[in-house]
Structure 1
Amino acid sequence: MHAETLLTLGVAALAAGLLARLGRRIGLPTVPFFMGTGILLGPHMPWPPVVHETETWQLLSAVGIVLLLFHLGVEFPLQQVLSSGRRLLLAGATYIAANVSGGLLYGFLLGWGAAEAMVVAGIMGISSSAIVTKLLVELRRLANAETPVLLGVIVVEDIFLAVYLAVLQPVVGGAGGPLEIFVQIATSFGFLLVLLVLARFGARLVGALLNTEDDELLTVAFFGLAVLVAGASEMVGVSDAIGALMIGLVVSQTVVRERVEQQALPLRDLFAALFFLVFGASVQLGGLGTVALPVLGAVLLTVALNLLAGLLVARMYRLNQRAAANLGLTLLGRGEFALILATMAATAGLDERIGSFTALYVLVLAVLSPLLASASRRLARFIPDRVMSGSWAYVQHETMSSGCPHLGEVAQVEPAGRYEDGCPECLAVGDTWVHLRSCLVCGQVGCCNDSKNKHGTAHFEETGHPMLRTIEPTEDWWYCYLDEVLLQRRSDEQPSR
């Protein structure tokens, strides 16, 4: 019996790794290929299955959920979120409000039931941090101006996930009435509060419990702690995913955080792959046809809501059209959190179509997200200047993919000194010039790069002042040397002369 289990586990893991490697070569994330392996090797195919719906496979899947959420908690940038201010929280809330409310309405429209609608809202409302971060790396956008905002949105979504799981657990768990639902929600939040207090005041004790110079012993200790707290959460009626996330947050405040994060990463990747694989094996192919149209509607709605949220957040941060398109399309990916919610729904005995709906929805978006995100530049061309905010707009066809974070260094708009007769430095040496530019930091006037001496650029190279403006009567634009971004005043506003 043990030999058969080991054999099937080895075959499944090896097949998942090979298929996912093929996916990587064509620029797609690994999640749909792990799920696809589970579908191919699962019990709903015409050939003998490799992955069975047994307690062993379910246990491996549960450990995958625990390690996914535990590692997320460990790497959670709590101090960054607390110091980011209300604007970041508002940006995250914009995405959550758009996608979760849209998902909830869509769930009710499907007519599968109130509990199912809440699950659909969570599935459609929360991005996959794994897919999103992988896209940022593969598309080389880590240095983009919108990337800190994008990562901040993911963090706020993760906070929302913990709260949403706490609320959702008693609803999908079949609580008998309003009073029982209230008691279970209060229990969930009480458990969360205990772990938050532990993170605030008991991190030193937890750090001392885990701290050892031996990496092997450290791995055994944090694994045991994560599984223990997840099991305790399940026993008190709270999702094991919440317990794993919160104890990870506690560990993130300890002295061993970086070592735990490093040691947990390969464990997380292995067991998470098994979780996706087991979920794929539970998908009934016959049910995919019944959810094809609902999934198509959900995908179209998700794309539209994400683009709307991207525009709103870009206006909030005074970013350009390309950044708005990047924000909307990069956050399209759905993955691990959607599958966790679908697993909760299956465990609670909700409508069986939830599993097929989630599998197909995640698969479609996992393929669409990198394709659309890589084509965001084309979409940006169709976003008119008037929908963006601020007095200055990034020129659509001349900007890089990143925005300009140096607007805050602008200290002086009016040119300094006497420049009515031309470039002061060119006049001093008896040379000619073409056009005049003025530094937006100190007001220094110099000639353009079409001029012989290029005094405007020379001033930047000498002082490091990043931004200048044209002072030609027929032009009205700014330029940032560091980001190579051109900005122009909107056509519907009066020039500042």
Structure 2
Amino acid sequence: MNYIVFEIGVAIALIALSGLLSAKLRFSVIPFYILVGMAVGPHSFEWWHIDLRFIQSTPFIEFLGRIGVLFLLFYLGLEFSVGRLIKSGRTIAVGGTIYILINFTLGLLFGYMSGLPVLEMLVVAGITTISSSAIVAKVLVDLKRTANPETEMILGIIMFEDVFLAIYISVVSGLVLSGSSSLGGILTSAAMALGFMLLVLIVGRKAVPLLNKALNIRSNELFLLVIFSILFIIAGFSETIHVAEAIGALLVGLVLAETEHMKRIEQLILPFRDFFGAIFFFSFGLNIDPFSLGGAVWLSLAAVLLTLIGNFIAGMWAGRIAGLSSKASVNIGLTIVSRGEFSIIMANLAKAGGLLPIVQPFAALYVLILAVLGPLLTKETKLIYTGMERIGKLMKLKRNKKIKEKAVSHER
């Protein structure tokens, strides 16, 4: 018999329970969604002789997850608009460039040292470079750090990452989905992706007055239908030219953020973002075989260590250039260490392109570790900074002692 409706109901109940548990423990909800998906996925086992494996409904849940990606990136587009990107200027350019330069370079080196092919290396670099906007924003609000001096730099880096992600996913998706790896293919894919993005943004901005009039609709039902039609048509069309559908959604958000209806769209879209976004992380867990994670443990742990080092250096460097204190600079590096939705998007891209299967379990473990570790490190930045200060003082005392001992021995 077909129990797809029952399976969907149980899936939503499990997602809700994992969300309640994460709230109780005051941890990021993302790893809980992924873990519960892994526990009841087609690759798992029967629990206490009750088969909870989501086999019949998995394709449908995966489709709902794809919709979740669209809403996540569409909402991000609404949040920072083209105008805000331009106004944020120097903070985004300085902090973002430093952060991407360090972490992307380390990601490429990590992929190369791991012996991965070129396409897998590019995907892994994307997985390890981009922070989770959702986790970072939630942590800043939960810890009441929105007014801190370093928060502007953190938000600037996140916004810069989102722009970098839009271009990077467009280019990499063209390479992965089209199967082109020649220089000509790379340039063609990049030109097509960037050309499509520029076209949507330029035409979209010119059409803002027209959109203001067209979206002047009283009925929320009709208003949402119009917004959804624009979102899905642009996102769907972008996929036909080998540009990730998520980027089409991001572009629509950027354009609509310039209209006078932005607040209304944001308010109405928020429940859809939360609901389908939760299903997205759950569906990612469904696709992970828990018994295959063992082969990615050391690879994931090495990547986590490299990410922690890269984020710390990037945060200290960006903070010092911006004239922030050492403590604020440490806060920057530790706050943006979390990885989440964007790393998963990159992993799904690898799956769609038929790349090495190791990428999926690697991304799952990597995201799980940093989704848990990131908020914890951010919460304990004061303790970590105090510890660093003590270590620094001890090292300074040891150096001074050695200098004195050398001076005494020289006098003798």
The yes-or-no answer on 1:273 pairing with 2:281 is no
The yes-or-no answer on 1:79 pairing with 2:78 is no
Residue 298 (structure 2) aligns with? 293
Residue 369 (structure 1) aligns with? 374
Residue 154 (structure 1) aligns with? 158
Q: 1:192-250: per-residue Cα shift (whole Å, max 9, x none)?
A: 11111123211222333333122222222212211111101111221101111001111
Please identify, of 277-286 and 372-381, the stretch whose mean Cα deviation from structure 2 is larger: 372-381
Residue 338 (structure 1) aligns with? 343
Q: Counterpart amino acid of 2:351?
A: A
The alignment yields a C-alpha RMSD, in angstroms, of 1.7
After TM superposition, the structure 1 = structure 2 runs for residues 3-152 of structure 1, keeping only pairs within 5 Å, are 4-47=3-46, 48=51, 49-50=53-54, 52=56, 54-152=58-156
After TM superposition, the structure 1 = structure 2 runs for residues 450-489 of structure 1, keeping only pairs within 5 Å, are none
Residue 264 (structure 1) aligns with? 269
Preserved contact between residue 196 and residue 246 of structure 1 (Cα < 8 Å): yes
The yes-or-no answer on 1:308 pairing with 2:331 is no
Q: 1:266-300: per-residue Cα shift (whole Å, max 9, x none)?
A: 10111111111111000011221001001111111
TM-score by length of 1: 0.75
Q: Give 1:180 deviation, angstroms.
A: 3.0
* CA distance in structure 1 between the partners assigned to 2:191 and 2:81 by the alignment: 26
Residue 237 (structure 1) aligns with? 242
Residues 176/294 of structure 1: CA separation in 2 closer, same or farther (3 Å cut)? closer
Residue 380 (structure 1) aligns with? 385
TM-score by length of 2: 0.90
Structure of greater relative contact order (alpha carbons < 8 Å, 6+ residues apart): 2
Q: Give 1:54 deviation, angstroms.
A: 4.5
Residue 462 (structure 1) aligns with? none
Please identify, of 89-98 and 183-192, the stretch whose mean Cα deviation from structure 2 is larger: 183-192
Preserved contact between residue 130 and residue 161 of structure 2 (Cα < 8 Å): yes
Q: Counterpart amino acid of 1:376?
A: T
Please identify, of 231-240 and 166-175, the stretch whose mean Cα deviation from structure 2 is larger: 166-175
Preserved contact between residue 53 and residue 282 of structure 1 (Cα < 8 Å): no
* CA distance in structure 1 between the partners assigned to 2:65 and 2:3 by the alignment: 18
* CA distance in structure 2 between the partners assigned to 1:156 and 1:123 by the alignment: 16
How many pairs were matched up? 385
* CA distance in structure 1 between the partners assigned to 2:38 and 2:15 by the alignment: 11
Q: Give 1:52 deviation, angstroms.
A: 4.8
After TM superposition, the structure 1 = structure 2 runs for residues 145-224 of structure 1, keeping only pairs within 5 Å, are 145-173=149-177, 174-175=179-180, 177-224=182-229
Residue 407 (structure 2) aligns with? none
* CA distance in structure 1 between the partners assigned to 2:95 and 2:286 by the alignment: 37
Higher helix share: 2
Q: Counterpart amino acid of 1:33?
A: F
Q: Counterpart amino acid of 2:125?
A: A
Taking only the aligned residue pairs, the percentage that are identical comes to: 38
Preserved contact between residue 207 and residue 251 of structure 1 (Cα < 8 Å): no
Q: Give 1:100 deviation, angstroms.
A: 1.1
Q: 1:44-82: per-residue Cα shift (whole Å, max 9, x none)?
A: 111231255754223212111111111111111432331
SS of 1:212's equivalent in the other structure is coil
Computing the radius of gyration from Cα coordinates, the structure with the larger value is 1
Residue 485 (structure 1) aligns with? none
* CA distance in structure 2 between the partners assigned to 1:379 and 1:34 by the alignment: 29
Preserved contact between residue 118 and residue 168 of structure 1 (Cα < 8 Å): yes
Please identify, of 55-64 and 126-135, the stretch whose mean Cα deviation from structure 2 is larger: 55-64
* CA distance in structure 1 between the partners assigned to 2:139 and 2:301 by the alignment: 23
Higher strand share: 1
Q: Which runs of 4+ in 1 moved over 4 A?
A: 51-54, 382-385
Residue 350 (structure 1) aligns with? 355
Q: Counterpart amino acid of 2:163?
A: I
Q: 1:436-468: per-residue Cα shift (whole Å, max 9, x none)?
A: xxxxxxxxxxxxxxxxxxxxxxxxxxxxxxxxx
* CA distance in structure 2 between the partners assigned to 1:64 and 1:321 by the alignment: 38
